[in-house]
Amino acid sequence: MNTKVVMLDEHNLDKSALIECGRVIRGGGLVAFPTETVYGLGANALDSEAVKKIFKAKGRPQDNPLIVHVWNTESIKPLVKEIPQIACKLMNKFWPGPMTIILLKSDLIPDETSAGLNSVGIRMPSNLIARELIKISEVPIAAPSANISGRPSPTDVERCVEDLMGKVDYIIGGDKCDVGVESTVIDCSVYPPCVLRPGGITLEMLREVDDKIYIDPAVMKKPDKDFKPKAPGMKYRHYAPKAPVKIVQGELNKTVEKIKEIAEEYDRENKIVGIMATDETINYYGKGVILSLGSRENLDKIAQNLFETLRSFDDKKVDVILSEAFNEEGIGIAIMNRLKKSAGFDIINV
């Protein structure tokens, strides 16, 4: 397939390019586009044939449902059975933005989109390219992250091109994504609502609306046959660069010492070690390819850089990646969720 790449300025939109992409979506084609979280791979959510193309392009397991993106609240009504009051409150407070709400689906949503579930995830992105594309397409857009299944999600257009060139009709490029990790997925088809995937809207923020909101306990643990996360997508090894990732967790100075020790062992075996450090620790390491995620004082920045840094280690052809850990509070929960999954829960406690 011949993929066209078009660069757009979110704050000075070239409508003619979006009109063309809208036509592609309506015609059953695939368009990758930026959102404030990660890049998405979009198709008409109401067209089962178009949705099947998403699964094929990504190599995505069939049992993993897609999120349906809308540009205004009006367009949600036909897609769902009902909108509980708690969902309305969350929408009013956090939309447009990095939050997906799970509701009982109407018959308009094909089984391919919901992967056979009776519910559907709805999200209103804040990125203006995304919203204008949905509006111009005149249909809701189903969009998973625009990566090959299993790899870290793309947070800039180059990574999107790397994964999807030749597999989609259009790639729309915009700025680097603000949030850097995917949206918070919250199930409002049940009460109290349950967070199925931590993301840009933190638990603390959600609890300002209702303090009964909680996180699916399976999310931060290694999935096994008795302990399954409620979001089908959370059970797969995910967000993973080519090299295996190991997390070292504990007091920061002990973490640094342990990572140095392991790095030296690998170095003796002539392996290239990647070290995922922070501004506070980067100068203490010696051997290896050392990249900083940013300052520990600014976890938002660390979230924004996480996937890009994991992918950079692949470019540098490292054999193994050793990562520091972060406090599991605020956006730190989403960071540690992605990091643990990328490591397949290989964690060394010090």
Binding residues vs ligand TXA (CB under 6 A)? 35, 37-38, 40, 64-67, 98, 100, 102, 114, 117, 119-121, 123, 125, 143-145, 182-183, 185, 196-197, 231-234
Shortest separation between residue 237's beta carbon and ligand TXA, angstroms: 13
Cα 111 versus chain centre, distance? 22
Look at residue 156 and give the partner it binds from ligand TXA, Mg ion, none, a contact being a CB closer than 5 to 8 Å depending on partner kind: none
Shortest separation between residue 117's beta carbon and ligand TXA, angstroms: 5
Q: Which two tokens stand for residue 314?
A: 């692949």
Distance from C-alpha of 251 to C-alpha of 347, rounded to nearest angstrom: 14
Phi-psi category of residue 28: left, alpha or beta, with phi > 0 → left and psi -120 to 50 → alpha: left
Looking at beta carbons only, is 8 or 273 nearer to ligand TXA? Answer: 8
Strands 67-69 and 141-142: antiparallel
Contact pattern for Mg ion over residues 145 through 164, marking x by CB under 5 A: x-------------------
**Contacts with 158 (C-beta within 8 Å, 6 or more apart), sequence order:** none
Shortest separation between residue 63's beta carbon and ligand TXA, angstroms: 9
Cis check: omega of the bond before 192, within 30 degrees of 0? yes
| Phi, psi of 311, rounded to the nearest 5 degrees | -70, -35
Shortest separation between residue 105's beta carbon and ligand TXA, angstroms: 7
Considering the rule CB under 5 A, would residue 184 count as an interface residue with Mg ion? no
Distance from C-alpha of 137 to C-alpha of 150, rounded to nearest angstrom: 28
Helical packing angle, 299-315 and 332-342, nearest 10°: 20
Shortest separation between residue 215's beta carbon and Mg ion, angstroms: 18
Looking at beta carbons only, is 97 or 274 nearer to ligand TXA? Answer: 97
Look at residue 294 and give the partner it binds from ligand TXA, Mg ion, none, a contact being a CB closer than 5 to 8 Å depending on partner kind: none
- Answer for the pair 64, 179: CB distance below 8 angstroms, yes or no: no
Cα–Cα–Cα angle for 70, 71, 77, nearest 5°?
A: 55
Beta bridge partners of 142: 43, 68
- The answer to whether 60 is annotated as binding is yes
Nearest-CB residue for ligand TXA: 233
Binding region for Mg ion (CB under 5 A) out of 39-47, 137-145, 202-210, 244-252 = 137-145
Shortest separation between residue 188's beta carbon and ligand TXA, angstroms: 11
- The answer to whether 151 is annotated as binding is no
Residue type, 76: I
Instruction: List residues near Mg ion by CB under 5 A.
Output: 145
Binding residue ranges for ATP: 60, 64, 145, 153, 197, 239
Positions at the binding site for L-threonine: 37, 69, 123, 143, 183
